Amino acid sequence: MSTDLQIQKSTERNKMHILWISFRLIFFALILPVLLIKSAFAQEKLESKGHIPILGWYSIPPEEATTARYLEMKEAGFDISFSFLGSPQDVQKSLDAAHKAGMKIVISCPELKTETEKIVKRFMDHPALAGYFLRDEPALDAFTDLGNWAKRVNAVDPKHFCYVNLFPNYATPQQLGTAEYREYVNKFAKEVPLHFLSFDSYPLTSAEGVYEKWHQNLEIFSDEAKNVNKPFWGFAQSILFDNKHEEPSLATMRVQMFTNLAYGAQGLQYFTYWTPVSPTEDFRGGPITLEGKRSTVYDNIKSLNQEIKNLSGVFYGAKVKSLQFFGNTIPIGTKRMSVLPAPIKVFATEGKTALVSLLENGGRQFIVIVNTDYRKKMSLTISGDSLKRVLKDGSMVPASAYAGTIDVEAGDVVIFNY
């Protein structure tokens, strides 16, 4: 081998060695720090043993009860469908279609009242059955009859729930049959044996904003449910039915649903899914229109339901440890936060009202902060020891990965684990 060739090969080896050293320097100088930062802010995914059921009122009418329609409803994040059905044949048709789509149904037909045992025995083993609808917004004088009806159902089928929905606290004493709202809820809980308690409330008014006693309603209802050791289910308005309420938007539905969840709700309901025809109400703009087409409300509900299910590790099975409000003004009948929770050292909202709920779930502790204003965002300053922020996809990252002051969108929630 010639001397020139040996020198050439040696030079090439030196070049390769220099390139390898350069690559290692670049890696340690540029790429490794990125990997270390990524490791420092690695995302931990929340786990849950289940999720909170989501029900749609005035759901798919019997003439539209097809598997495709129930698949469409399921795609929007619903688990349970409820419609007023005219006959056992309608019930059978709806259950069969829902089962093929992986949905459940709360059944209702006149024969459930007149031939209770027969109807319950007929449908109790259907895999799509969720429960039995008895009554909406009863007064005190109906409690005894409802209690006896529920007992007849439970005697045949103790597995599936009976469903009765109660008035909100803006109902009149004449509607309630009691002088006070707490008495109304208390007497119902004692007289009617149900798996859970439910009430509806549509608190967002176009003129005045949030109804001033909405949170007081939740205070009373959640407290009475706790006293009888039963979960409660809450509502969000998803349709326009008069000129007094706000038109449904992502923000209006978020503030209702996340407020319910902050109070410990273990079931969520939308009024309505399908836009119903009514001789007394001008229903319009539901998730599914009168013509059977999707509206933007459908898309907003789909997004919100996905957020809720992603956060199952926070809310499903959670117990409320404390619930207070922070800001210049707080709602009637609620408690003001006078002392910061232990993990928080700095907390400010520039005077805006925030709901602050401390939840415990499976040994984990969470701080749930809801912007009570569904029209404007809230600037939140928060810091504390070992806080992790829970993102909307259910993952957690150190709170230090974010700026100390963050925006909470109108009606939205921000959650921390500690």
3-state secondary structure 153-206: HHHHCCCCEEEEEECCCCCCHHHHCCCCHHHHHHHHHHHCCCCCEEECCCCEEC
Question: Is 193 exposed, middle or buried (CB count within 10 Å of its CB: 0-12, 13-18, 19+)?
Answer: middle
164 token code pair:
């009765």
Is residue 47 domain-resident? no
Q: Pick from 200, 214, 215: which is nearest to 324 by CA?
A: 215
Q: Pick from 114, 263, 156, 143: which is nearest to 203 by CA?
A: 263
Domain co-membership, 289 together with 398: no
Domain co-membership, 28 together with 72: no
What is the structure's pLDDT at 247? 95
Is residue 218 domain-resident? yes
What is the structure's pLDDT at 22? 53
* Domain end residue (candidates: 267, 300, 315): 315
Dist CA 379 CA 138 (whole Å): 42
What is the structure's pLDDT at 16? 54
Residue position matching structure tokens 């005219």: 86
Find out whether 101 and 76 touch, Cβ atoms under 8 Å. Answer: no
Scored b (16 or more CB within 10 A) or e, 372-403 reads bbbeeebebebebeebbbbbeebbbbebeeee
What is the bridge-based pairing of β-strands 364-371 and 354-361?
antiparallel
Is residue 331 domain-resident? yes
pTM, two decimal places:
0.90
Averaged pLDDT score across all residues of the chain? 93
Three-state DSSP state, 291: coil
Is residue 48 domain-resident? no
* Domain end residue (candidates: 280, 296, 315): 315
Question: Is 14 exposed, middle or buried (CB count within 10 Å of its CB: 0-12, 13-18, 19+)?
Answer: exposed
**Domain of 108: which CATH number?**
3.20.20.80
Domain co-membership, 308 together with 327: no
Dist CA 102 CA 221 (whole Å): 32
Domain co-membership, 221 together with 355: no
Dist CA 412 CA 391 (whole Å): 12
The full DSSP string for 349-394 is -TT--EEEEEEEETTEEEEEEEE--SSS-EEEEEEETT-EEEPTTS
Domain co-membership, 36 together with 104: no
Find out whether 333 and 219 touch, Cβ atoms under 8 Å. Answer: yes
Domain co-membership, 339 together with 363: yes
**In the chain, how many domains are there?**
3
Within the chain, how many helices (H) and strands (E) appear?
Answer: 13, 20
Domain co-membership, 34 together with 59: no
Is residue 271 domain-resident? yes
What is the structure's pLDDT at 3? 45
* Domain end residue (candidates: 283, 315, 347): 315
Domain co-membership, 130 together with 214: yes
Question: In terms of residue numbers, what domain contains 14?
Answer: 3-40
Domain co-membership, 288 together with 403: no
Domain co-membership, 342 together with 369: yes
What is the structure's pLDDT at 130? 99
Domain co-membership, 278 together with 374: no
* Helices 88-101 + 67-75 axis angle, to 10: 60
Is residue 95 domain-resident? yes
Dist CA 289 CA 276 (whole Å): 8
Q: Which residues contact 48 (CB under 8 A, 6 or more apart)?
A: 312, 313, 316, 317
Q: Pick from 79, 86, 183, 90: which is nearest to 131 by CA?
A: 79
Eight-class DSSP state of 30? I
Domain co-membership, 251 together with 144: yes
Is residue 45 domain-resident? no
Give the residue ranges of the chain where pLDDT is below 50.
Answer: 1-7, 9, 27-28, 31-40
Is residue 9 domain-resident? yes
Dist CA 248 CA 403 (whole Å): 31
